[in-house]
Chain A
Amino acid sequence: MAGKTINIKLKIWRQAGENKPGKFESYEVNDVSVDMSFLEMLDVLNENELKKGSDPIHFDHDCREGICGMCSLYINGKPHGPKHGITTCQLHMRTFSDGETIVVEPWRASAFPVLKDLVVDRTSFDRIMQAGGYVTVSTGGVPDANEIAIPKTVADEAMDAAQCIGCGACVAACKNASAMLFTSAKVSQLALLPQGGAERKRRALAMVEQHDAEGFGACTNTGACEAVCPKEISITHIARLNREFTRASFSGNETDYQN
């Protein structure tokens, strides 16, 4: 199968470890099939590097079908590359032209320290989730389906928010490295549904508190996050988070009443 191939040049950020100095290094990959995904192209490059005895380029990846949120990469000034609504693993080499130089950088944010090369530590997202991104459920018999009536439009809106895969593209694109789109998606998906209603105040406050503690910035409503989000999550969810937070802050909580 002799499909179309291209030759490309790459400038890739290399960094030996956390808090170590990093720099860009140039690579060339020839005869790249345009049907390859960006990650497959990096696999070919690493294969070549290994044969030469060099340290391969470290990058995050897992499912390679756009649902796990592991792949990252800031490609030519854009998280997940130049195309809209996809992750890096869904980006194909046909997007690039023959002889093009592609600049590949890790996500950059204080709360996402670089571990090695293009791999960043995104456990700050896990800690925001642990702070309140869940519902407390009573275990027991399996409830009947559709026992709780939820309008279709509300369920759809909650599903839109729930599509967030926690990749961190929003933080990478934001001029303030704010994780408001991520936090708002997680708050939104639960606040919209009756099951999440009971803990909505505590959840909004706790998740925002953890967001701030991790060192993410504030939202300037630039909309850069929604433009790069592979799951096309809208900043209307940030407005909902702001409402949830305001409501929780300015109204009394159950625990605020004194006996």
Chain B
Amino acid sequence: MSWQKSLSSTIGRKIMMSLSGILLILFLAGHVSGNMTLLMGKADAFNMYAHFMSTNPLVQVVANVFKLFFLAHIVYAIILTAQNKKARGGQAYKVTNKDGSQVSKYMGVLGSVIAVFLVVHLAQYWAVMHELRGEISTTTIDGVEMKDLYSVVAVSYANPMIVAAYVISMFVLAFHLWHGFASAFQTLGLNNKRYTPIIAFLGKAYSIIVPVLFGAIPVVMFLNS
């Protein structure tokens, strides 16, 4: 079977979803640990982190690779959803089946909300950092002039509506991870009596801890503003 044929089969597409999903899970771990500098009480820590992330050449390469994973995850999700809808057929059941994991049935909806969040999130900070949306003020730390992204974040998190939107988005992310984490391993065929309970536990822990940490940032910064 050719590569093209393997990768365009249902299992091949699911493997692409799974691998890109696992890498995006790793991305979240990196992102949340970096963002914890926002809660260190002073603007300098976060600004130095943001400066490093936007100037280090290795980080730029990794960031561009992660953009591909995001894209792959979204594109394959669209292709698979269309394929699955077609397979289900036009006639819906009168009484629907309630079996199986409930959150797993809404991965597309949850993912779409996350995609919308992503666009807003990028417009709010990434575009400002890259000066695509007006000027950004600068600050000087240890004689190095760098962009003051902390102030941009602090201003936005003084708005309760933005804080609420972020917290809600993190709930959505939590549900997406609740199914996605362990499901990614099942798709890769990594289902084993020894390891599956550990993967399932790690998946649940991860899907709570990471969104809670992310969600805590706007809440804490709002309370301190």
- A residues sitting closer than 8 Å to B (CB atoms) are 11, 22, 24, 74, 76-79, 103, 105, 108-111, 173, 175-178, 180, 205, 208-209, 211-212, 215-225, 227-228, 235-236, 238-246, 248-250
Partner of B87, one of A79, A111, A173: A111
Task: Point out the residues of chain B lying under 8 angstroms from A78, CB to CB.
Answer: 97, 99
B179 and A239 form a contact (CB under 8 A) = no
Partner of A77, one of B95, B183, B187: B95
The residue among B6, B12, B101, B189 with the most chain A CB atoms within 10 A of its own CB is: B189
Interface flags, B75-111, vs A, CB<8A=1, else 0: 0000010011011110111111111110011010000
- B15 on interface, CB distance cutoff 8 Å: yes
Task: Point out the residues of chain B lying under 8 angstroms from A218, CB to CB.
Answer: 10-11, 13-14, 80, 83-84
B186 and A239 form a contact (CB under 8 A) = yes
Q: How many residues of B contact A (CB 8 A)?
A: 39
Q: How many A-B residue pairs have CB under 8 A?
A: 142
- B residues sitting closer than 8 Å to A (CB atoms) are 1, 5-6, 9-15, 80, 83-84, 86-89, 91-101, 104-105, 107, 179, 183, 186-191
A217 and B84 form a contact (CB under 8 A) = yes
Knowing A209-B9, A239-B191, A241-B11, say if A220 contacts B99 (CB, 8 Å): no
Kindly state the separation between the CA atoms of A228 and B96 in the bound complex, as whole angstroms.
13
Knowing A177-B87, A249-B6, say if A223 contacts B104 (CB, 8 Å): yes
Task: Point out the residues of chain A lying under 8 angstroms from B12, CB to CB.
Answer: 245, 249
B187 and A222 form a contact (CB under 8 A) = no
Kindly state the separation between the CA atoms of A108 and B12 in the bound complex, as whole angstroms.
25
Task: Point out the residues of chain B lying under 8 angstroms from A208, CB to CB.
Answer: 9-11
Kindly state the separation between the CA atoms of A215 and B10 in the bound complex, as whole angstroms.
10
Kindly state the separation between the CA atoms of A235 and B104 in the bound complex, as whole angstroms.
14
